[in-house]
Amino acid sequence: MMPFFRARSTRALVIAVAALAVLASLDAALHPMLAQNAFGGPRPAAAPEVGGIVGWLLARQSEFYKEISAAIRSAKSDGSAVWTLLAVSFAYGIFHAAGPGHGKAVISSYLVANQETARRGIALSFVSALLQALVAILIVAIGAWIMNVTAKTMCSAETGIEIASYALIAAFGARLVWTKGGSFIRALQARPELSMAAAGGHHHHQGHDHHHGHGHAHDHVHDEHCGHSHGPEPEQLAGPGGWRRGLAAVLTVGVRPCSGAILVLVFALANGLFWAGIAATFVMGLGTAITVATIAVLAVSAKDVARRLSSAREGSGVLIMRGIEFGAAGLVLLLGLGLLFGYLSAERVTCF
Amino acid sequence: MATPRWFGSLLLAGALLAGASAAEAHPHVWVTSTSELVYSADGSLTGVRYAWTFDDMFSSYALQGVETRTKGVYTREELAPLAQTNVEALKEFDYFSVAKADGKKQQFLEPVDYFMDAKDGLLTLHFMLPLKVPVKSKELALDVYDPTFFVDFKLAEQDPANLVGAPAACQIKVQRPADGTASAQVLGEQNFADGGNLTFGVMFANKITVNCP
């Protein structure tokens, strides 16, 4: 009994320490990059001194959002304004998702942590965005249209869903950290020079604990690199598990509706144009999906590059890849916890 | 030593965190604010009487499910529960108001005399926000803004702020943020990288200053 518990707690400790280290280095790496350009693309050509890309995105979003309400207003008297509504909603969806937000961060981190393909990344992005649209439509259809509840009631429902969604992200992240942490530690042990250092230095005691952890944690982690030091083969990267595994990612992200969509839907309903609001919400979701998918593909490709570069290095290459996956898993957990406890604010649900 | 693997991790981290930095902020609610700064007989400011008019989209949302005797006509009584919900919810956001007397931040009590009315589909929330301690000062500054920029406050074009019962020598001045879109563009990424976006609504602040020499 004792070694089992000790091994487990040591593993948890090592995971936590390693997670901090990975995130700290990610953060350090990121700051200079963000300072230059948040999205890694070219700077906007016009007025580079004042052209903060995030600020610019916010300004566009703000404009499109205002145009959505204007389009609904004019659609009341002029049916052709519905086309404007759809076009603006689509643009809003694209820009809205391009701003800082947790949905794409969770999906991208999940893809990286789980050796997923770009194709699956695109599919997950679309399914989660459409689910998000559907939840918003259902809330307004059931709450406002059928039951005619007040905004306050509807908002409480939204808040409840939001908290549940953050808890889901944290739980999902914790699971990823647990499994990826195991792989990471095993990759760490498999690295010859590191094992030697651990055996020779003050890490001696810890090194032993690793081995306990290894034996007991083996059952629930599918790791093909147990004790071997070779780069991952392409066929190993497709990853088993099928759709069920991706479902968790889709649910955690997609279940939380966008408050903007809810406002638009209620406004459309109040103006007798609920159907136009529904169409607008779906189109908005489509726009969001395109952006999220683009970022997801970017994340997967970046990992591919990292893998190709690191596969040339015996042993440490595996370690790097496991480290990256572990870091991504840690990110999902931190995002979930941060959102849940209010350290990170996503677009908040306002109940007033 | 710029190793390739370092470059790879950088790429990855960038792609991952491009969206993960922090708050998502663009206004969902627009408020046009007018205010009266209310003074007592001895010349100290006792509080601010606000009238906040919401945009039509948010007004529709807030009016959803409110029962009325006549469809589309909302009386003060019918809107009373909504007004109460509003002022209670506003507490969490410190009433989006920051008052400083000669540079010293003032505390507010809970709102009194609150009610709502709806005209042409636009909701207006009226409430009196009393200062915890009435204050006499040479310079008083009142900022109205949402630090997270979820709510976009704008001072009304006409009579954005008035003095009520203030000493005759007092002068009121109103300062509006530059055009919101332009300000949004001026915001650099650095604000976001530093987590500065949590307070960047202050750049959109509407400042009312009263000078009483």
Of the segments A56-70, B22-36, B71-85, which one has the largest average pLDDT value?
A: B71-85
Percent of chain A with pLDDT over 90: 22
Task: Tell me which chain B residue has its CA closest to the CA of residue A101.
Answer: B19
Mark yes or no for CB contact B8/A306 under 8 Å: yes
- Which residues on A lie below 8 Å from B8 (Cβ)? 302, 305-307, 309-310
Listed in sequence order, the residues at least 6 apart from A163 whose beta carbon sits closer than 8 Å to its beta carbon are A340
Q: Per-residue pLDDT averaged across A275-288, rounded?
A: 95
User: Is residue A57 pLDDT above 60, yes or no?
Assistant: yes
Burial class of residue A96 (count of CB atoms within 10 Å of its CB; 0-12, 13-18, 19+): buried
User: Residue A348 in 3-state DSSP?
Assistant: coil
Q: Would you state the structure tokens that stand for residue A82, as one six-digit string?
A: 């519905």
Inform me whether the C-beta atom of residue A23 falls under 8 Å from chain B C-beta atoms. no
Q: What is the pLDDT of residue A314?
A: 64
d(CA B129, CA A267): 30
Which residues is B173 bridged to in the sheet? B209
Mark yes or no for CB contact A56/B191 under 8 Å: no
Task: Tell me which chain A residue has its CA closest to the CA of residue B184.
Answer: A55
Mark yes or no for CB contact B5/A320 under 8 Å: yes
- Which residues on B lie below 8 Å from A344 (Cβ)? 22-23
Distance between A107 CA and the closest CA of chain B, angstroms: 9
Q: What is the pLDDT of residue A305?
A: 86
Band of the pLDDT at B178, cuts 50, 70, 90? low
Buried/exposed code over A102-122 (b: 16+ C-beta within 10 A; e: otherwise): bbbbbbbbbbbbbbbebebbb
Q: Hey, CA dihedral for B54, A82, B149, B20, is it positive or negative?
A: positive
User: Is residue A52 pLDDT above 70, yes or no?
Assistant: no
Mark yes or no for CB contact B18/A345 under 8 Å: no
Band of the pLDDT at B170, cuts 50, 70, 90? very high
Mark yes or no for CB contact B65/A324 under 8 Å: no
CB A281 within 8 A of CB A93: no
**A50, A56, A298 ranked by CB distance to B15: nearest:** A298
Report ipTM (2 d.p.): 0.74
Inform me whether the C-beta atom of residue A305 falls under 8 Å from chain B C-beta atoms. yes
- Which residues on B lie below 8 Å from A305 (Cβ)? 8, 11-12
Listed in sequence order, the residues at least 6 apart from A178 whose beta carbon sits closer than 8 Å to its beta carbon are A15
Whole-prediction pTM: 0.71
Burial class of residue A201 (count of CB atoms within 10 Å of its CB; 0-12, 13-18, 19+): exposed
- Backbone φ and ψ of A99, nearest 5°: -75, 175
d(CA A34, CA A41): 11
CB B63 within 8 A of CB A325: no
Q: What is the pLDDT of residue A331?
A: 87
d(CA A147, CA A15): 48
Lowest-confidence segment of A36-50, A178-192, B38-52, B141-155 by average pLDDT: A36-50
Distance between B138 CA and the closest CA of chain A, angstroms: 35
Best to test chain A binding among B183, B189, B194, B198 (most A CBs inside 10 Å): B189
d(CA A289, CA A252): 15
- Give the tens place of pLDDT for each residue, A218-268: 333 333 333 333 333 333 334 455 566 677 778 887 888 888 899 999 999
d(CA B46, CA B136): 9
**B12, B19, B148 ranked by CB distance to A345: nearest:** B148
Q: What is the pLDDT of residue B144?
A: 93
Provide the mean pLDDT of chain A: 72
d(CA A340, CA A342): 6
Which alpha helices (H) appear in chain B, and where do they start and end? 4-17, 56-63, 76-91, 180-186, 189-193
Q: What is the pLDDT of residue A221?
A: 36
Q: What is the pLDDT of residue A110?
A: 87
d(CA B183, CA A23): 32
CA B62, B67, B70, B76: dihedral to nearest 10 degrees?
-60
User: Is residue B55 pLDDT above 90, yes or no?
Assistant: yes
